[in-house]
Amino acid sequence: MTEFDRRKLVGMSGLVAGAAAMGAMPVEAAQAKASAGTRKPMLVKLGCQSGPATDEHFAFLARYGIKNIVASAVQSDRKRPYPTVEELKALRTNAATHGLSVDMTNCSFMTAAPISQIMLGLPGRDVEIENFKVLLKNCAEAGIPALKYNLPIMPILRSSVVAGRGDSYNHRWRLSEMQGSPMMTAWDEEGSDSEFPGFPNHLDGAQPAASIIHGASDRSVYRVSDWERIVGKPTAEELWARIDYFLERVVPVATQYKVRMALHPEDCGVPPEGYHGVPQVLGTIEGLKRFVTTQDSPYHGLAFCQGTISEDLTDPRTQVYEVIRWFGSRKKIFLVHFRNVRGHRDDVLVEIFPDEGDVDMVKALRAYRDVGYDGMLVADHIPMGPPSSGPANWSFCYGYIRGLLQSAAEV
């Protein structure tokens, strides 16, 4: 074969290869288009649950494109355990002036702290239950479709504050750090909102036992001895009996008024045998599965805190997606706290930025899309930082979530 023939052959080969590639491109494009056509639509919304319910804060949320929120009404009588219909309507009206929709509100007397009379099994639980029913009715009349609440038997569990990315700081839960400590937790609701440097050394101080009971201080720094004296040593089945007592009386009311009840799981998860001898039935995946199936109602479900769920897993980087699918496919996710963690049960950094944890947040978002979740993704437990960094930290989280949602067609 002459040099000319070789060149001709090579040239023709290139033309054939190019033609084959050009022919393949439409096929690949068609396959991609077909895949996109079968992909479920992204119905998830960017939301926020931070307060207060003021014009200034609502304007701040609107600035970052937020349209759906969890918010609490301003009450004229703060001793009243629930807002009136008029106060809830005023909340909606004020939010609407900023283009915000109040999709959920909070039950102020059933939060992460203090421990409710319901979970303590005390006579005062019937008063709490009646108040909860009134709040459900008020939400329905005011046009607020969902209510978030907690049923803790323990305070929020944290063991220390550690340096985070840049000049930020994170809470950590490491069970081994609390062994032998007179304190239940290093968490302090008041201190967690303060700015570094100068964060208080929580383990040096203690709050009186009354701080656990509703109506006293919100600061959640408890001595083990105080907590044990108040809580006792209930078994798992005793705790379930108290939970069932509550659900049997309120879920029919929620169903009647078509207001969704969203329970936040206990934070953090603890070993199966419990913590200080007490099981944490609403802090385990199996416990939450039992919780959502014990009453058959589309208005009974979870404020699905992805961070808290991850904190109860031995390997959240591989396990959390299936948990999302289990609850989401049963339509039991009413709100998502879209936060990341680094670590695993009993040893985890729990308050980090969403882009620096072990969970693949794109994969998590895909799971919410695939189960048809159409509620809010809200930032939660953001890191602390230097003075005045709070708004910037929240804004980073809004932008991160917004970016994922806008990329939804590609994920």
SS (H, E, C) 232-269: CCCCHHHHHHHHHHHHHHHHHHHHHHCCEEEEECCCCC
Q: 271: alpha, beta or left, given left = phi > 0 and alpha = psi -120 to 50?
A: beta
76: CATH: 3.20.20.150
Higher pLDDT among residues 356 and 39, named by residue: 356
Strands (E), 8-150: 45-48, 68-70, 101-106, 146-150
- Give dist(CA 266, CA 278) in Å, integer: 13
Does residue 34 sit in the same domain as residue 96? Answer: no
CB 333 within 8 A of CB 302: yes
- Would you tell me how many other CB atoms lie within 10 Å of the CB of residue 122? 16
Mean pLDDT (whole number) for 94-120: 94
Q: How do strand 160-163 and strand 169-174 relate by DSSP bridges?
A: antiparallel
Residue range(s) defining the domain that contains residue 114: 43-161+170-177+181-410
Quick one: which H or E segment has residue 163? strand 160-163
Q: What are phi and psi of 367, to 5 degrees?
A: -65, -40
Does residue 31 sit in the same domain as residue 63? Answer: no
Mean pLDDT (whole number) for 357-364: 96
Does residue 146 sit in the same domain as residue 14? Answer: no
Q: What is the model's pLDDT at position 48?
A: 97
Mean pLDDT (whole number) for 48-72: 97
- Give dist(CA 266, CA 220) in Å, integer: 14
> Buried b / exposed e across 284-301, counting CB within 10 Å, b at 16+?
bbebbeebbeebeeebbb
Does residue 30 sit in the same domain as residue 96? Answer: no
Does residue 291 sit in the same domain as residue 335? Answer: yes
pLDDT for residue 409 is more than 90: no
Higher pLDDT among residues 71 and 32, named by residue: 71
Does residue 384 sit in the same domain as residue 255? Answer: yes
pLDDT for residue 250 is more than 80: yes
In this prediction, residue 23 has a pLDDT band, given cuts at 50, 70 and 90, of very low
Residue type, 63: R
Q: What is the model's pLDDT at position 114?
A: 80
- Would you tell me how many other CB atoms lie within 10 Å of the CB of residue 66? 24
Does residue 278 sit in the same domain as residue 347? Answer: yes
In this prediction, residue 411 has a pLDDT band, given cuts at 50, 70 and 90, of low
Q: What is the model's pLDDT at position 330?
A: 98
pLDDT for residue 84 is more than 50: yes
- In degrees, to the nearest 5, what angle opens at C-alpha 363 toward C-alphas 362 and 364? 90
Does residue 151 sit in the same domain as residue 5? Answer: no
Does residue 209 sit in the same domain as residue 264? Answer: yes
pLDDT for residue 274 is more than 50: yes
In this prediction, residue 40 has a pLDDT band, given cuts at 50, 70 and 90, of confident
Does residue 262 sit in the same domain as residue 284? Answer: yes
Number of folded domains in the chain?
A: 2
pLDDT for residue 210 is more than 60: no
Q: How do strand 347-349 and strand 169-174 relate by DSSP bridges?
A: antiparallel
Does residue 6 sit in the same domain as residue 74? Answer: no
Q: What is the mean pLDDT of the chain?
A: 85
Higher pLDDT among residues 81 and 206, named by residue: 81
Residue with the two structure tokens 């056509």: 37
Sign of the alpha-carbon dihedral angle for 281, 282, 287, 290:
positive
Q: 327: alpha, beta or left, given left = phi > 0 and alpha = psi -120 to 50?
A: alpha
Structure tokens at 15: 């033309």
List, for residues 162-175, the tens digit of each pLDDT value.
Answer: 999 999 999 999 99
List, for residues 374-405, the tens digit of each pLDDT value.
Answer: 999 999 999 988 888 999 999 999 999 999 99
Is there a cis peptide before residue 114, judged by omega within 30 degrees of 0? yes
Structure tokens at 167: 């000049």
Q: What is the model's pLDDT at position 37?
A: 61
List, for residues 279-327, the tens digit of each pLDDT value.
Answer: 999 999 999 999 999 999 999 999 999 999 999 999 999 999 999 999 9
Mean pLDDT (whole number) for 124-141: 98
pLDDT for residue 5 is more than 60: no
DSSP 8-state symbol, 382: P
Does residue 13 sit in the same domain as residue 81? Answer: no
Mean pLDDT (whole number) for 335-359: 94
- Give dist(CA 94, CA 88) in Å, integer: 10
Q: How do strand 300-305 and strand 333-337 relate by DSSP bridges?
A: parallel
